[in-house]
Amino acid sequence: MKQISWADFSRRQMMKAGAALAATGAMSSVLPGQAFAAAEDDRIIAAAKKAVPNATEVTGILWSNYQRAMQPVIEDFGKMTGITMPKIQDISTFDIPQRAMAEALSKSPEFDFFHLDANMIPSLASAGLLEPLDEYMAAADFKINAVGDYAKFLTYKGKTYGITTDGNVHIQFIRNDLFGNADEQKAYADANGKQLAWPETWEDDLQAMKFFHRPEKEIWGSANLRDRGSSMAWFYMYLYSAGGFPFDDDGDPTINNDAAEYAVQTYLDVKQVSHPEASGWGTPQMIPRIVNGNAYSCQYWDGIAALAENPAKSKTAGKWVYGPVPGSTHSGKLIKRSVSTPNVAVVVNRHSPRKEAMAYMAMYFGTSANSTTIVGDPVNTFHDPWHVDHFKPGSLPEKVYTPGGMNAIRQNMTIVTPPIYLTGLLEFETELKRNISEAYNGDKTAKQVVSDTQDAWTKAARRIGKRRLKEEMATYKSLMPKNDLPS
């Protein structure tokens, strides 16, 4: 007789068995959540099979680094529905928005989905590329159960256009072996006339970075990115926390003001505690420096916490402490703002004849059980927590990101902001990136950056259409946090 082990059962079989036992009262109180998760998956499968009764192959543009953690869920969905994904076009997530815009212009049905930054939704929806998902969600009785108002980051003019798989938010990283060292704390107090404490403001953070900036020991104060491609994430945090907002209610740019100048200057001030080559470094260069212990502090994507706490990949595992990002009192009160860019999500091509099949597969990625599988992959840590259930004690993501990391992610999700959530995101950001980069290299002042950017954005707004921007402003502003500080 063959001995049966748990390894003989698929993840889905175990969920369904748990649901059945829970219905008969045969299992503990842990199982109602599992039963609900199985029911959620079952509703999507039933709706998909009803809408798409025949075997169907879907394809799209997806970076293979993201695909690996999603593959078990893709295969599971294929077995249950006959909707499979045998191939993809492998393109970096950072290059997919431009490709998607090209597909929007051609109205091509070739790709069924795009896995990209959800902050492109206004641009792509207004270009007619995206299929609204609300009808499919209603058919499966599916809701996006994200922390706080994060589900709004997938909407545009009241409709839902994407399903998150990677809930990127910035969190604060501090080397606790330095920050928590009694001798270091005394030396800091002696040098600065105040106790070393968690940074409440960007100025507090910079002061601590200066103290721990020790290039001769291969430790730099900051590991914040300062390359042209990534500069915007930090600018948004600085601007929003200073009480600034890049447009007024009529769609006119409002970047030439004190708050924006403060944001640019704050960005530039970190240069004194950054590596001399930082302007040319992206994540491939900076992440190894973080996990190898070459920096004291940074605001960085939350996924790096999972990497930093992996002893097999990090020399600094167990040496970090995480928390809310700093803020600013520039507006007269302390405001803290994190940022989500890219918020990586699956969006569906409305021109695809297989859009129904793809919509249900997208929803399947976003269920409690399946998103936990994707986010909780201990090796392919590209998808970061976002679902309410990811933050439950003992969850798989908690094991990967650590309880301290998960608490920091949750806190920052309560103050998270989008980039420019309007049609023309890429055009607006290109101009600001160029100007900030020139200032970082010493060719412009902060005042010149905001003045030149205001002029460029005013021209871009005319090309895009002020009426369109004005119509989109309500959606953009609705994504902004209502609270000044993390909750």
Burial of residue 469, with CB atoms counted within 10 A of its CB: 0-12 exposed, 13-18 middle, 19 or more buried: buried
DSSP reduced 3-state for 177: helix
When mean pLDDT is compared across 58-62, 361-365, 376-380, the lowest value belongs to 376-380
Whether residues 305 and 248 fall in one domain: yes
Number of domains, the chain = 2
Whether residues 140 and 206 fall in one domain: no
Whether residues 102 and 147 fall in one domain: yes
The CB density around residue 290, as the number of other CB atoms within 10 Å, is 22
The CATH number assigned to the domain holding 205 equals 3.40.190.10
Q: Of 417, 434, 451, which one is at a domain's C-terminal end?
A: 417
Whether residues 261 and 393 fall in one domain: no
Whether residues 298 and 432 fall in one domain: yes
Pair type for strands 113-117 and 159-160: unpaired
Q: Is 486 part of any domain?
A: no
Task: Inform me whether the pLDDT recorded for 149 exceeds 60.
Answer: yes
Whether residues 103 and 71 fall in one domain: yes
Structure tokens at 60: 């799209």
Q: For 171-182, how does the pLDDT look when each residue is reduced to its tens digit (9 = 90+)?
A: 999 999 999 999
DSSP 4: P
Q: Is 230 part of any domain?
A: yes
Check residues 26 and 330 and name the one with the higher pLDDT.
330
Task: Inform me whether the pLDDT recorded for 315 exceeds 70.
Answer: yes
Structure tokens at 468: 């369109």
Q: What is the mean pLDDT of residues 36-55?
A: 92
Cα 335 from Cα 205, distance rounded (Å): 15
**Contact (CB, 8 A) for 365 and 121:** no
Q: Is 213 part of any domain?
A: yes
Whether residues 189 and 175 fall in one domain: yes
Q: For 92-132, how does the pLDDT look when each residue is reduced to its tens digit (9 = 90+)?
A: 998 999 999 999 999 999 999 999 999 999 999 999 999 99
Q: Of 382, 402, 417, which one is at a domain's C-terminal end?
A: 417
Q: Is 487 part of any domain?
A: no
Q: Is the dihedral of CA 249, 255, 261, 266 positive or negative?
A: positive
Q: Is the dihedral of CA 99, 104, 110, 111 positive or negative?
A: positive
Taking Cα atoms as reference points, which of 80, 68, 70 lies closest to residue 12? 80
DSSP 248-302: -TTS-B--SSHHHHHHHHHHHHGGGGS-TTGGG--HHHHHHHHHTT-EEEEEEET
Whether residues 107 and 22 fall in one domain: yes
Whether residues 92 and 218 fall in one domain: no
pLDDT of residue 207: 98
Q: Of 393, 417, 441, which one is at a domain's C-terminal end?
A: 417
**Contact (CB, 8 A) for 260 and 186:** no
Whether residues 311 and 449 fall in one domain: yes
Check residues 323 and 5 and name the one with the higher pLDDT.
323
Position 441, amino acid: N
pLDDT of residue 33: 53
Task: Report the percent of the chain where pLDDT is more than 90.
Answer: 90
Q: Is 483 part of any domain?
A: no
Question: Which alpha helices (DSSP H) does 127-201 contain, by range?
Answer: 134-139, 176-179, 182-192
Q: Is 331 part of any domain?
A: yes
pLDDT of residue 17: 41
Range of the domain at 179: 170-340+421-478
Task: Report the percent of the chain where pLDDT is more than 70.
Answer: 92
Q: For 237-269, how does the pLDDT look when each residue is reduced to its tens digit (9 = 90+)?
A: 999 999 999 999 999 999 999 999 999 999 999
Whether residues 139 and 232 fall in one domain: no
pLDDT band at 5 (very low <50, low <70, confident <90, very high): very low
pLDDT of residue 2: 32
Task: Inform me whether the pLDDT recorded for 14 exceeds 80.
Answer: no
Whether residues 335 and 458 fall in one domain: yes
pLDDT of residue 36: 57
